[in-house]
Amino acid sequence: MTNSLFHWTNETLKQQIGQMVVVRASGHLFDQQIRFPTWEAPNVQLRHWLQTLNLGGIILLGGTGAELALRTQQLQQWSKTPLLVAADTEEGVGQRFSGATWFPPPMALGAIAKQNLDQAIEYATQMGAVTAQEALAIGINWILAPIVDVNNNPENPVINIRSFSNDPEIVSHLATAFINGAKTYNVLTTTKHFPGHGDTSIDSHLDLPVIPHKTRRLAEVELVPFKKAIEAGVDSVMTAHLLIQAWDEQKPATLSNKILTGQLREKLGFEGLIVTDALVMGGVTNYATPEEVAVMAVEAGADILLMPHDPKKTIEAVYQAVESGRITRERIESSLSRIWHAKQKVSTTICSPENQLLSSLNQLSQPRAKQTVVHILQYSSEKGGSLPLKKKYKRRNLIVVDDLLNCDFLDRQTPAITIPKQLGYNLQLVDENTLSLVLKKNRNTLLQIFVRGNPFRGNAGLTDRAQKIYKKLIKHKMVKGLIIYGSPYVRDWFLSETNLLKDNLPWVFSYGQMAEGQDISCRTLFGLSEVSCNLQDTFL
């Protein structure tokens, strides 16, 4: 890609501002597959935006790896200027796009680091390299990872196991290792959420968290991983919708010049792209109108406006701010320069020839990547109690998830279902809305809980109602075995607040909720061989 592809001086001011806008789009090819219509425009609208507004990029969610390879080519063809194509791949490309490699959550690496830092760094480097390789294979050139938030608040509802650790030094080591691994490919990396979203009990998707810490504490904890990531050459930094009282008592970090320009640019010396967190989130939408939020973010120093509610109105608002003198043309030009520099870096991979599609897809889920996933799961998992769980007939396999309509990690053929079924267990699948049903029958139970912090979840672990039900199940000796997938804070609750230890109940904990995590956990609980076998023939 050369400078001539952009023709900055020949574009109108509105088209130049369009390069600062990145919109959300479905990774699926067809409109009827759109899962989040509030944020994902239908194809006619999306194509119109790309062809008329000169948008700078797209952030994608949904679809298979193969589907995304076609989708990214389609979107690049619709746009007159090569696009930055982003995705939240904190746990690998397979976290968002099935068929690719899905790694365990970053905190699994943090758990390994406490025992063997060098081994964890090696895995983090491999994770970064595999994520970058697979992203580029399907047309993603901007990885919105790694997270460098220090999750030192167990009640954090949104960061949780997305963080590497509660230790800033471990976070720094693993995040820089991920960045170094990814740097072996021409892909952009991102640290988030500046200046640190780890110590809050409020989800900024829903409201504006307040961080009361003094400047010294911020320097000793929250800022440490950001400094190391910048030294490692991270390409972009994503802002946090947080009120950092020590630096700006009025404006969220995303909208604060004191924070984005004063702290990130001037004090930390960051020269890459500053990208806002999604501008549809409650942390800023409750602060001002969408148009005013966009203008304030640019004033603060943001180069990329991520997921504004209406890109056309956003561009118009920033344009009017420039025309009125509120924002200088130099401020816009500085962002354009950084965007151009970023697009130059990914120029050789920003558009893949169609005849390379099958070759690219062969790079997904390669054996070495799968092996790394298994090793991370094995070395970060925990177990206790009287293992293995003795197998008897007519028992219940009770699986609890947050939302039955949104649990992609489960289907009829995933190990959490198939292994107990082959051992004579009958499935009961419930979520928070139907959890009370589990007490109606006094049945010996294998309890499998899938729970972790996630955006929009609202809490970090178990609700009060869920805690009461689990206590009753264990108190009445209905639970004979327990597997927890996801949050170590939920594991800690069971170990401290129930009779799990006193009754010596067999239990297993896994950070990963994917099929590999389920397989390892179920085989550990039942004492089965790791070698694939016909369980019906072996145990029945």
CA distance linking residue 149 with residue 196, whole number of Å: 5
Catalytic residue (one of 173, 197, 205, 309):
205
In angstroms and rounded to an integer, the radius of gyration of the C-alpha atoms of the chain is: 24
How many CA within 13 A on the CB side of residue 141? Answer: 23
CA 53, chain centre distance (Å):
28
b/e per residue, 525-534, with b = 16+ CB within 10 A? bbebeeeeee
Q: Supply 430's token pair.
A: 């419930």
Name residue 384's amino acid.
Answer: G
> E strands along 423-493, which residues?
425-431, 445-451, 479-486
CA distance linking residue 352 with residue 337, whole number of Å: 24
Residue 151: DSSP 8-state: -
DSSP 233-284: T-SEEEE---EETTT-SSS-GGG-HIIIIIIIIIIS---SEEEPSPTTSHHH
469 three-class SS: helix
CA distance linking residue 514 with residue 285, whole number of Å: 34
418 three-class SS: helix
Residue 205 among the catalytic residues: yes
**In Å, what is the CA distance from 464 to each residue of 89, 432, 514?**
32, 11, 26
Catalytic residue (one of 149, 199, 277, 519):
277
Contact 134, 101 (CB under 8 A): yes
Contact 277, 306 (CB under 8 A): yes
Contact 218, 212 (CB under 8 A): no
CA distance linking residue 483 with residue 442, whole number of Å: 20
CA distance linking residue 181 with residue 168, whole number of Å: 20
Q: Is 144 exposed, middle or buried (0-12, 13-18, 19+ CB in 10 A)?
A: buried
**Catalytic residue numbers?**
205, 277
